[in-house]
């Protein structure tokens, strides 16, 4: 499997309203492990964050699963973001794409 050097996403209305970035399950390996702190640097913000999860039954009660996210305020619905790994371990850059 090819290793990715970035995580790209278009922010949804729910993400913007509730202040988080949804992380797809198949992209979890791009980030440090679940619950491990890392530094995420945005425009004028530098924050210690971690991948968090919550249980969900959006596919029905017979298919419980987890949703993964990073808490991050200030994004707008429709923003296209790119998270890039830094050369320094435990550091990532958040870029808004125009």
Does residue 65 form part of some domain?
A: no
What pLDDT, on a 0 to 100 scale, did the predictor assign at position 1?
Answer: 46
- The yes-or-no verdict on residue 3 having pLDDT over 80 is no
Does residue 35 form part of some domain?
A: yes
Q: Are strands 38-41 and 46-49 parallel, antiparallel or unpaired?
A: antiparallel
DSSP state of 78: T
Read off φ and ψ for residue 71, nearest 5 degrees: -70, 125
Does residue 36 form part of some domain?
A: yes
Q: Which domain holds residue 49?
A: 6-54+72-97
Total domains, the chain? 1
- pTM, 2 dp: 0.90
What pLDDT, on a 0 to 100 scale, did the predictor assign at position 53?
Answer: 97
Here the tokens at position 13 are: 């209305």
Question: For the chain, where are the E strands, in sequence order?
Answer: 6-10, 20-23, 38-41, 46-49, 52-56, 65-71, 80-85, 91-97
Does residue 84 form part of some domain?
A: yes
CATH of the domain at 13: 2.40.330.10
Average pLDDT value for the chain: 93
What pLDDT, on a 0 to 100 scale, did the predictor assign at position 2?
Answer: 52
- Confidence category of residue 4, pLDDT binned at 50, 70, 90: confident
24-65, pLDDT tens digit by residue? 999 999 999 999 999 999 988 999 999 999 999 988 999 999
Does residue 66 form part of some domain?
A: no
């Amino acid at each position: 499997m090819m290793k990715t050097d970035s995580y790209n996403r278009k922010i949804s209305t729910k993400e913007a309203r509730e202040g988080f970035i949804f992380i797809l399950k198949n992209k979890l390996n791009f980030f440090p492990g679940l619950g491990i702190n890392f530094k995420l640097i945005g425009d004028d913000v530098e924050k210690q964050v971690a991948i968090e999860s919550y249980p969900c039954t959006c596919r029905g009660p017979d298919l419980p699963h987890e949703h993964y996210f990073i808490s991050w305020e200030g994004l707008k619905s429709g923003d296209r973001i790119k998270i890039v790994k830094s050369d320094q371990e435990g550091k990532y850059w958040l870029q808004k794409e125009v």
